[in-house]
Amino acid sequence: MVPFSSTNGNGDQVLVEENLFLRTLILNRPRQLNALSFQMVSKLLELFVAYEDDCNVKLVILKGNGRAFCAGGDVAAVVRDINGGDWRLGAKFFWKEFILNYVMATYSKPQVSILNGIVMGGGAGASMHGRFRIATENSVFAMPETALGLFPDVGASYFLSRLPGFFGEYVGLTGARLDGAEMLACGLATHFVPSTRLLLLEAALCKLDSGAPATISSILDEYSQQPHLKENSAYHKLAVINKCFSRRTIEEILSTLEREAVNSADNWISATIQSLQKASPTSLKISLRSIREGRLQDVGQCLTREYRMVCHVLQGEVSKDFFEGCRAILLDKDKNPKWEPSRLEQINESMVEQYFSKVDDEEWEDLKLPAKFTFSASLLAKL
């Protein structure tokens, strides 16, 4: 086994191990919980593109160093950039990140992501589009964007909308945390492997001389376990989730939840209502619409639309909640964002519509996806 071939400077934010036909990419910013910097995204994109044409690579593993797989995009850095001047600097980060997501979603070789820790936001984007996602007892998944004044991006409108029933709306709007067993149950993970068996699993994958999904699948099966879904798991509430989160608008979702709360003493419902009440109202509205549109679109259309949306968020013409959210949660850490508009009823249809329109800026352009047409059903992320 080759330990790893170091990447170039940049403090080795992405480590690479080469084994026969396998390349293992390790996100290596453990102190920042492997939050994706612009450098990391660029490096990952470069590597993924190179491996696609390299016949010596048949399988790519992505994992994180330390207790996180990846806690998200480094939005604090993005906000610093923008506060320093131009929103376009921030847009650049998302452009590159979404292109990476698209490359992963349409990859001709299997990607195995080992999610042995925190998987949030951008971390989900870097794993969910791949063919295999391994959860462990250490996995913690969340899309916390609505609490940050953003919306679930990185193609989340594609993968969340394809979860069973309206679980995707629930996860995307409330930022609810899921453990490994829940990830497997809802389909965010394809396998559950106890963390103690990960080394053996990786060793087995090292020996592979085939990238056939069926072969990889059978190896993963050998190390997999059926985890126990905890008693109070949100996934047991799918019936209520479907009933409430299928409603047409955020307002109706909330009022249906409140009606449910009257009939039950369930803490889960009040916690759910609370998380919606704490989230940015603008974020909730655009997130719901994004997931709903995403359900009927392919992954490229989803990312293109999300790129438009994120540019509007960065421009801040309708709302500056993203900056306020980053201030309150990531910078000042007072956890008390002052959303503006502060109430759902202050956000009308045309304000929401604005986020889905082209950006009115001469230099701006829609996300340009690399031409990829060789989708193979066996390699699509099974969601």
Q: Is 102 in the site for other proteins (CB under 8 A)?
A: no
Query: In the structure encoding, which two tokens stand for residue 326, read together?
Result: 């980053």
Q: Is 184 in the site for other proteins (CB under 8 A)?
A: yes
Choose, by CB under 8 A, the member of 199, 214, 262, 265 that binds other proteins: 214
Q: Is 209 in the site for other proteins (CB under 8 A)?
A: no
Q: Is 382 in the site for other proteins (CB under 8 A)?
A: yes
Q: How far apart are CA 3 and CA 229, in angstroms?
A: 36
Q: Active site includes 73?
A: yes
Q: Active site includes 153?
A: yes
Out of 72, 90, 121, 122, the active site residue is: 122
Q: Active site includes 125?
A: no
Q: Is 380 in the site for other proteins (CB under 8 A)?
A: yes
Nearest CA among 63, 297, 352 for reference residue 195:
63
Q: Is 365 in the site for other proteins (CB under 8 A)?
A: no
Q: Is 131 in the site for other proteins (CB under 8 A)?
A: no
Choose, by CB under 8 A, the member of 58, 63, 109, 289 that binds other proteins: 289
DSSP-derived secondary structure letter, 346: G
Q: Contact region for other proteins (CB under 8 A) — 8-16, 43-51, 104-112, 245-253? A: 245-253
Closest to other proteins by CB, 248 vs 333, is 248
Q: Active site includes 360?
A: no
- Kindly list the distances between the CA atom of residue 328 and the CA atoms of 147, 149, 322, in Å, as whole numbers in the listed order: 10, 10, 10
- Kindly list the distances between the CA atom of residue 348 and the CA atoms of 102, 149, 286, 318, 320, in Å, as whole numbers in the listed order: 32, 17, 11, 11, 16
Residue identified by tokens 């087995």 is 204
Query: In the structure encoding, which two tokens stand for residue 138, read together?
Result: 């250490």
Q: Is 247 in the site for other proteins (CB under 8 A)?
A: yes
Closest to other proteins by CB, 1 vs 212, is 212
Q: One-letter amino acid identity for 3?
A: P
Side-chain-side CA neighbours of 265 within 13 Å: the count stands at 0
Choose, by CB under 8 A, the member of 46, 54, 342, 375 that binds other proteins: 375
The CB density around residue 356, as the number of other CB atoms within 10 Å, is 14
Q: Is 197 in the site for other proteins (CB under 8 A)?
A: no
Closest to other proteins by CB, 326 vs 379, is 379
6 Cβ contact partners less than 8 Å away, ≥ 6 residues apart:
12, 15, 16
Q: Is 346 in the site for other proteins (CB under 8 A)?
A: no
Residue identified by tokens 């829940």 is 182
Side-chain-side CA neighbours of 288 within 13 Å: the count stands at 23
Q: How far apart are CA 253 and CA 249, in angstroms?
A: 6
Catalytic residues: 73, 122, 145, 153
Q: Which residues bind other proteins (CB under 8 A)?
A: 161, 164-166, 184-185, 187, 189-191, 214, 217-218, 220-221, 224, 238, 242-243, 246-248, 252, 289, 292-293, 295-296, 298, 373, 375-378, 380, 382
